[in-house]
Amino acid sequence: MTTDYLALAQAVAQRAAADGIEAEAYITHDTETQIKVSQGAVEQLSQSATRGIGVRIIDHGRTGYAYTSDFSDDSIEQTWRTARELAQIATPDEYRALPDPRPIPDEDLEIWDPKLESVPPEAKIDAIKRVERATLDYDARIILSEFCNYQDAISHVYLANSRGFAGQYGRTIALAFNMAIARGEDGGMVNAFGFGASNFFDELNPETIGRESASKAISILGGQPVPTQTAPVILDHFVSAQILGALAEALSAESWQKKRSFLLDRLGQQVGNDMVTLMDNGRMKRGVASAPFDAEGVPTSATRLIDEGVLQNLVYDSYSARKAGVQSTGNAQRFGHRSLPMLGPSNFYMQPGHQTRDEIIAGVEKGFYVISVMQTGGIDSVTGDCSMSANGLWIENGKIVGPVGGVTIATTLDGFLNNITAVGSDLRMVPAFGAIGVPTLRVDNVTIGGT
């Protein structure tokens, strides 16, 4: 007999509520696959199915939370009663309450692949083996395809609360990634990543992923330091995504309320070049973090955070919005039924421009195309400091002339935003840092630390 999980969530929320006590039931039912290959052999193959229910009680600003994976009547009753008991001893917070019900737009976000459930494990294994083959076949100097992984998830969410909200959705995601390791004649080694992610299994292109990691690794092999200088840099997607991850933290209302953002109190001010438009869009078609509503039942939205360089908004969940006296942007997130809602980005991305990567390179008289980095000094969303060791390619008169290695690049997040002088048309969502979307970027006045 198939369980009607939405009806169950509604029944639990109604039973757990009482005068002055609000209740919410959150049910997840997920199926995941993970595959890792090495040298043509399957090192890991796991498939798992999990389900659970979490119950949140808010009693006059005091929150209690309990969860279980046992769906028997006794276990579910014990769960919501435990959440009630925990709320009794919690510290009250006047801003804690369930959100006001808002209508959810009836729109197909194209986040469900009906085929994924029927894709056999053999097809998934073949896909990730093709990633490894394409990597190793690219060039004899590629000696290893590390972290050659395939993952997918088929997720169902059911949410109901005592204020009348009830909703459900399904989402699928499939991704593959690897790191190519190349070794030169001098014994020096470098690495580079390739990746692909989509809501739809058939949209993954294993050969493209494998060739991406291999071509990048080969291109930076044998890199040497350049003299220390200030110059333009062009940032690959994987590099820019790490910087945008810090910007997402700085544009969180929670960070502002805790005084932990380099952008603090600059709403309405010019904080970047007019080429810079940053969005958080939980309703992006085929977005890997898209959903019709957030982890509290608030409709997701497209929020323009920085518009042509002007700081316009932050991302909010219900709690931070109530503290600020504004409306939630639908950015409450959860990591399964064990998790309370927390504020976080959805599909966070920079609006693409009109130039191709090659056109951006052609416009650089002398500069550095950064392909891989390690965060030596790190990226700090509070101070705005940004320093990384980097490998890449040197550009002279609009042409790539050779590999660069053993240098650092340093700027500030303020400098990053204000010195972006070219934005590519090639927007890519990078799943390794959440759902961060970036095109190729040119950033001027970056300090390159070399010889």
Location of structure tokens 């990226």: 379
Tell me the residue range of the domain where 450 lies.
223-451
For residues 256 and 400, membership in a common domain is answered with: yes
Confirm if 371 and 400 have CB atoms less than 8 A apart. Answer: no
Question: Structurally, how many domains does the chain consist of?
Answer: 2
Give the SS3 label for residue 113. Answer: coil
Length of the chain equals 451
- Choose one of 216, 251, 270: the last residue of a domain: 216
375 Cβ partners below 8 Å, 6+ apart? 242, 387, 388
Confirm if 211 and 135 have CB atoms less than 8 A apart. Answer: yes
pLDDT tens over the chain, length 451 residues: 578 999 999 999 999 999 999 999 999 999 999 999 999 999 999 999 999 999 999 999 999 999 999 999 999 999 999 999 999 999 999 999 999 999 999 999 999 999 999 999 999 999 999 999 999 999 999 999 999 999 999 999 999 999 999 999 999 999 999 999 999 988 889 999 999 999 999 999 999 999 999 999 999 999 999 999 999 999 999 899 999 999 999 999 999 999 999 999 999 999 999 999 999 999 999 999 999 999 999 999 999 999 999 999 999 999 999 999 999 999 999 999 999 999 999 999 999 999 999 999 999 999 999 999 986 568 999 999 999 999 999 999 999 999 999 999 999 999 999 999 999 999 999 886 669 999 999 999 999 999 9
Query: How many angstroms separate the CA atoms of 362 and 422, rounded?
Result: 11
Location of structure tokens 């550009």: 395
Give the SS3 label for residue 201. Answer: helix
106 Cβ partners below 8 Å, 6+ apart? none
Tell me the two tokens of residue 196.
């692909």
Helix or strand holding residue 49 (H, E)? strand 41-59
> What pLDDT, on the 0 to 100 scale, is given for residue 432?
66
- Choose one of 194, 216, 238: the last residue of a domain: 216
250 closest CA partner among 227, 273, 271, 233: 271
For residues 227 and 102, membership in a common domain is answered with: no
For residues 253 and 186, membership in a common domain is answered with: no
For residues 142 and 27, membership in a common domain is answered with: yes
For residues 29 and 118, membership in a common domain is answered with: yes
260 closest CA partner among 109, 128, 384: 384
> What pLDDT, on the 0 to 100 scale, is given for residue 431?
80
For residue 192, what is the domain's CATH number?
Answer: 3.30.2290.10
User: Could you give phi then psi for residue 348, rounded to 5 degrees?
Assistant: -105, 120
The DSSP 8-state label assigned to residue 418 in this structure reads: H
- Choose one of 151, 184, 216: the last residue of a domain: 216
Neighbours of 262 (CB within 10 A): 21
For residues 189 and 329, membership in a common domain is answered with: no
For residues 245 and 186, membership in a common domain is answered with: no
For residues 130 and 36, membership in a common domain is answered with: yes
Positive or negative: CA dihedral 395, 397, 400, 402: negative
> What pLDDT, on the 0 to 100 scale, is given for residue 377?
63
Query: How many angstroms separate the CA atoms of 260 and 243, rounded?
Result: 16
